[in-house]
Amino acid sequence: MQRQKIIVYVNDKPRETFLGMRVRNVLGARALQRVRARQAIVRDGEGNVVDVDGALYDGEHLYIAPIDPTTFADEMQRSA
Amino acid sequence: MYRHLLALAVLILSLLVACVAPTPTIAPAGPLKVTLLHTNDMHGYLEGQMLTGSDGKSFEFGGLPHALGTIARLKREAAGPVLLFDTGDLWVGTLASNRDQGKTIIAAMNAIGYDAMTLGNHDFDQGVAVVQARASEARFPILIANIVEASSGKVPGWAKAYIVKEIAGIRFGIIGVAYARTPGISSKVKELQAFKFIDELETLRQILPEVKRQADVIIVLSHAGFDADQRIAEALPDINVIVGGHTHTELRTPKVIGNTIIVQAGARAQHIGRLELTIDRASKRIVDYTRNNLLVAVVSNKAETPQDIAAMFDKLIAEGRTATRRVIGETAIDLLRAYTPDGRTSGEHPAGNLVVDAMLWANQAGDTPADVAIHNNAGIRADIPRGPITYGQLYEMLPFDNVLVAMDLKGEHIKAVLEVAASCPRVNTLVAGMSFTYNCALPAGNRISNILIRGKPMELQKVYRVQTIDYLANGGDGQVAFKEGTNLIYGDPVVDVVAAYIMQNSPVRPRVEGRIVEAR
C-alpha cells in the first residue's frame, strides 16, 4: 500500500508529511506545548481554529498565533 | 312593525350567510424553524480542561458530560424542533473511554436523544465487532453510505446508508459518509478488508437522486474532512447542509458554497454546533439560516447535565482513575535512562529498551513483520523503579500520545537516521532488532558503522520494515530520512503497546546488551 504524501504550510512554510498525520505532528514540540497551555492557537487558512489532533490535508495552511489564556477563558464563557 | 320584520330578516339572513360561508381557515403558520445540533470528534474526552477567567473563577471547558448537558439546555431553548447528530470519532482517545469501548457514551447519547451519526476512522480502532456492538445498542441509526461489505456490496446490516425523517410536513433526507481512506490510516487493516470504503463524493453522487425523490431537505453527515466537504458541496449543489468532522475545524460561521451550508464543531466535546434553519412551509425550501456564532462553548457552569447521565460518566471517570493506579505488571530491574554529561538522555538504557522491544513485539507492521524498531531518546520522559508498574507511571514515561507507524525504508535511510541521532555527545535514538557503533571523534554524517539488523550486516539498498512512531515518521528531531518511507501503516498508541507488552511479559527485565556501542 503506497502512502500518499501531502504538503501543509505552517506559517506559510511548506512541510512535507504523510496522509494520516495530525496537526500536532507539524507544529513542533514548543508550539504544541503552548497550544496545550492555551497560550497559542492554531488557525487554518480561513481563520478557523483547528485542534491539534485534527487530520491534516494536502495544501492546508496553518498559522500559530499567541493568545492569552485568561482572555480565552472569558471568550469561552461568553460563547457558552 | 316593518322595522322589526326587517331587522329580523336581516338577522336571519346574517345567520344564514354565516352558516353557509366557508369557515375562516387558520392563518398559515410562519416558516418552520428547525435547529440542527451537532458534535464531532469527541474522542472519548470525558473530562474537560480547567480554565480560569478574569473574574478568578475556574470552570471545566469541554468533556462529554458537560457537552451532553449543554445539548439538553440547547434543546430546551430551541424555538422549534431539533435534529441532533454526531459525525464520528466518538469514543476512542482516552484511557477511561477506550476501556469502556463506547458503551457508556452510546447509552448517554440514547438518553439525550441523538437522531443519527456517521462513523469516523478511529471508531474502527477497536475492531469491527466493537462498532457492531455499539450500533446494536444505539437507539439511533448509524449512517455509512460509503462502506459496503466486500462480499455483498451492501451497507452492513447494522448500519444504513440514509434515513428520511419528517418534521411538520418537511422531509429531511439524512445521509452519512465515513472517511473513505480509513483502511489506509487504520491499525485494523486486515479486518477492514471485509469492507469496501468508497469515495465519499462518488457515493453521494450515486445516492443523491434516490434520496432527493423522498426528501425536501438534504443533510449529509460527513467524516471526510473540511477540505473534502467543500469539494462535495461544489460538485453536488442539491445538498443543503454538510455536518462535518475529521479535521477538528471550529466553524464559528458557516462555510457556504452555492446553496450548501457546511458546519463543523471542533473536537474533544468542547463545542456544540447549532445551526437554525428557517424553512418555508409551502415551497419546503430553506429561506434563512444562522450566519454567525454557530458554536456554543461547553462550560461546566452552564451545562444542564441530567443526573442519570452525570452519574453514568462519574462512574466511568472514577474507573479510569482507578485504572491509572492499577498495577499492570512489574519490572525485575530499575527502568532507568542514561544521560550525557550535560544531563540529556542518550544511548541505550533499560527504560528505552523496554519501549522499543515492545514496539517490535507488538507486530503492527502489516503483513510483513518489522525488522527493527526505532524510538527517540527524547521521548522517554521518566524512569520506573523496580517493582510494580502502573499505567499512570507508564504514561509519565511516554506522555506524548505518539502512535506506532510502520514503513518500508532503505538501509541507506536507516543509516541517515542513525547519523542524525548521533549528534554527539548525545545519541538520540533507541533501537530493537539491530545494533550499531558510533564514533563521536568522526565528523557528523560519518559517525555510524557496523550496523547489524537481525545479526546480519545492513545493506544500504535493501528495503527493511521499520517500526517507529508518528513523531519521527514525520521528521521530528530532524529525522527527515523517515520521509523516504513507503507503505506506511499506523498502529496503536505507544503507551498502550508498552502496557500490553508488560502485561504479557511480566516481570520485564530489559537489559543493556550492546545495541548502541561507542567506538573505543
From chain B, the residues in CB contact with A58 under 8 A are 227
**Using CB atoms, which residue from A25, A59, A75 is nearest to B470?**
A25
The domain made up of B327-518 has a fold known as: 5'-nucleotidase;  domain 2 (3.90.780)
Spatial distance between the Cα atoms of B71 and B77, rounded to a whole number of angstroms: 10
Percent of chain B with pLDDT over 90: 85
Q: Residue B176: pLDDT band by 50, 70, 90 thresholds?
A: very high
Q: Yes or no: say if B178 and B152 are a contact pair by the CB < 8 Å rule.
A: no
Q: Which of A15, A26, A76 sits opposite B61 (nearest CB)?
A: A76
> Looking at CA atoms only, how far is residue B105 from chain A in angstroms?
20
How close is the nearest chain B Cα to the Cα of A20, in Å? 6
Residue B494 phi, psi dihedral angles, 5° rounding = -60, -40
Q: Which of A20, A70, A75 sits opposite B184 (nearest CB)?
A: A20
pLDDT attached to residue B343:
87
Mean pLDDT of all residues in B1-7: 50
pLDDT at residue number A4: 73
**Cβ of B54 and A70 within 8 Å?**
yes
Res B162 pLDDT > 80: yes
Tell me the average pLDDT across B460-465.
98
Distance from CA of B471 to the nearest CA of A (A): 6
Query: For B368, which residue in chain A has the nearest alpha carbon?
Result: A1
* Contact: A54, B247; criterion CB under 8 Å: yes
Per-residue pLDDT at B188: 80
Q: What is the pLDDT of residue B401?
A: 84
Query: For position B4, what pLDDT does the model report?
Result: 56
Neighbours of B136 (CB within 10 A): 10
Chains A & B: contacts with CB separation below 8 Å:
128
Model pTM score: 0.86
Task: Fold for A5-78, please state it.
Answer: Ubiquitin-like (UB roll) (3.10.20)
Tell if the CB–CB gap between A18 and B43 is shorter than 8 Å.
no
pLDDT band for B187, please (50, 70, 90 cuts): confident
Query: Higher confidence at residue B270 or residue B475?
Result: B270
The band of B1, judged by pLDDT with boundaries at 50, 70 and 90, is very low
CB contact under 8 A, B51 and A72: yes
pLDDT confidence of residue B32: 95
Q: Which of B495, B30, B55, B67 is nearest to B303 (CA)?
A: B67
B62: closest chain A residue by CA:
A76
DSSP H helical ranges for B446-513: 470-473, 494-505
pLDDT above 80 (res B284): yes
Is B49's pLDDT higher than 90?
yes
A67-80: per-residue pLDDT in tens?
A: 999 999 999 999 99
Q: Answer whether residue A2 shows pLDDT above 80.
A: no
Q: Which of A6, A49, A52, A71 to mutate to test the interface with B (most CBs of B within 10 A)?
A: A49
B68-82: pLDDT as tens digits: 999 999 999 998 999
User: How far apart are the CA of A22 and the nearest CA of chain B, in angstroms?
Assistant: 9
Averaged pLDDT score across all residues of chain B: 93
A chain contacts of residue B487, beta-carbon cutoff 8 Å: 1-3
Cα gap B322→B503, rounded to integer Å: 17
Instruction: Inform me whether the C-beta atom of residue B226 falls under 8 Å from chain A C-beta atoms.
Output: yes
Confidence at B27, pLDDT banded by 50, 70, 90? very low
pLDDT of residue B186: 79
Give the minimum alpha-carbon distance from B435 to chain A in angstroms, rounded to a whole number: 28
Tell me the pLDDT tens digit for each residue of A3-57: 478 999 999 999 999 998 999 989 988 899 999 999 999 999 999 999 999 999 9
> What string of H, E and C letters represents the secondary structure of B71-112?
HHHHHHHCCCCEEEEECCCCCCCCHHHHHHCCHHHHHHHHHH
Report the pLDDT value the prediction gives residue B257, as an integer from 0 to 100: 98
Ordered DSSP codes for B410-432: EHHHHHHHHHHHB-SS-B--EEE
CA-CA distance, A2 to B463, in Å (whole number)? 14
ipTM above threshold 0.90: yes
Q: pLDDT exceeding 70 applies to what percent of chain B?
A: 94
Alpha helices by DSSP H, chain A: 23-27, 29-36, 69-78
C-alpha triplet B96, B101, B104: angle, nearest 5°:
75
What pLDDT, in 10s, does the model give residues B332-364? Answer: 999 999 999 888 999 999 999 999 999 999 988
pLDDT confidence of residue B455: 95
| Equal CATH topology for B32-50+57-320 and B327-518 | no
- Residue B22, Cβ density class (10 Å: 0-12 exposed, 13-18 middle, ≥19 buried): exposed
The mean pLDDT value for B126-138 works out to 96
Shortest distance, CA A49 to any CA of chain B (angstroms): 5
| Rounded Cα–Cα distance for residues B228 and B9 (Å) | 75
Mean pLDDT (whole number) for B437-446: 96
Tell me, what's the pLDDT at B79?
A: 87
Nearest-Cα residue of chain B relative to residue A74: B53
Lowest mean pLDDT, pick from B136-145, B256-265, B322-331: B322-331
Got the DSSP string for B276-307? Answer: EEEEETTTTEEEEE--S--EEE-BGGG----H
pLDDT of B12 above 70: no
Question: Has residue B20 got a pLDDT over 50?
Answer: no
What is the least distance, in Å, from the CA of B458 to any CA of chain A? 24
- A 10 A CB-CB count for B454 gives 10
Asked if the model's pLDDT at residue B249 lies above 80, the reply is yes
Match 518489522 to its residue by C-alpha cell: B370
B13 pLDDT tier (thresholds 50, 70, 90): very low
CB contact (8 A) between residue A17 and residue B483: yes
In chain B, what are the domain boundaries?
Answer: 32-50+57-320, 327-518
In our burial notation (b when 16+ CB lie closer than 10 A, e otherwise), range B50-65 reads ebebeeeeebbbbbbb
Return mean pLDDT, chain A: 93
For the domain made up of B32-50+57-320, give the CATH fold: Purple Acid Phosphatase; chain A, domain 2 (3.60.21)
> CB distance B226–A51 less than 8 Å?
no
Inform me whether the pLDDT recorded for B399 exceeds 70: yes
- Name the residue in chain A with its Cα closest to that of B488: A3
> What does the block give as the cell for A39?
497560550
In the stretch 482-501 of chain B, residues with CB closer than 8 A to chain A read 483, 485-490
Q: What values do phi and psi take at B8, rounded to 5? A: -65, -45
Yes or no, beta carbons of A3 and B488 under 8 Å apart: yes
* Contact criterion met (CB < 8 Å) for A25 and B474: yes
